[in-house]
């Protein structure tokens, strides 16, 4: 049996600027685009995608309070899809 190496998903520490909601072709499903700036020595502007309302609401909360949030994401055909969101305490 071959051993596979597991590569962890990237995590960005960001402050959210915008949360935009767009309806999808699937009835009752909304896609959210989160635009944020990374919190590091040389900030970068990033965009992330999600269809999970809980992730989008956590990002909206980060925006309202202007507090950093950690976004774990993976690269897909649609962009940077969010896999997990953590609000800093």
The pLDDT, as a whole number, for residue 3 is 61
Is residue 12 within 8 A of residue 46, CB to CB? The reply is yes
Instruction: Indicate whether 52 pLDDT > 90.
Output: yes
| pLDDT tens string 25-47 | 999 899 999 999 999 878 899 99
The mean pLDDT of 51-75, rounded to a whole number, is 94
pTM equals: 0.84
The pLDDT, as a whole number, for residue 61 is 93
Strand partners, 82: 73
Q: H/E element holding 20?
A: strand 11-23
| pLDDT tens string 62-72 | 999 999 999 99
Instruction: Indicate whether 89 pLDDT > 90.
Output: no
Got the DSSP string for 41-85?
SS--EEEEEE--HHHHHHHHHHHHHT--EEEEEEEETTEEEEEEE
State how far the Cα of 77 lies from the Cα of 69, in Å rounded to an integer. 24
Both tokens of residue 76? 């897909």
CA dihedral sign, ordered 76, 62, 20, 43: negative
């Amino acid at each position: 049996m071959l051993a596979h190496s597991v590569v962890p998903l990237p995590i960005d520490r960001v402050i959210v600027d915008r949360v935009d909601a767009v309806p999808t072709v699937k009835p009752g499903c909304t896609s959210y685009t989160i635009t944020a700036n990374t919190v590091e020595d040389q900030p970068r502007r990033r965009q992330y995608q999600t269809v999970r309302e809980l992730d989008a609401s956590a990002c909206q909360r980060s925006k309202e309070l202007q507090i950093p949030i950690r976004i774990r994401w993976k690269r897909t055909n649609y962009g940077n899809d969010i896999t997990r969101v953590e609000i800093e305490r």
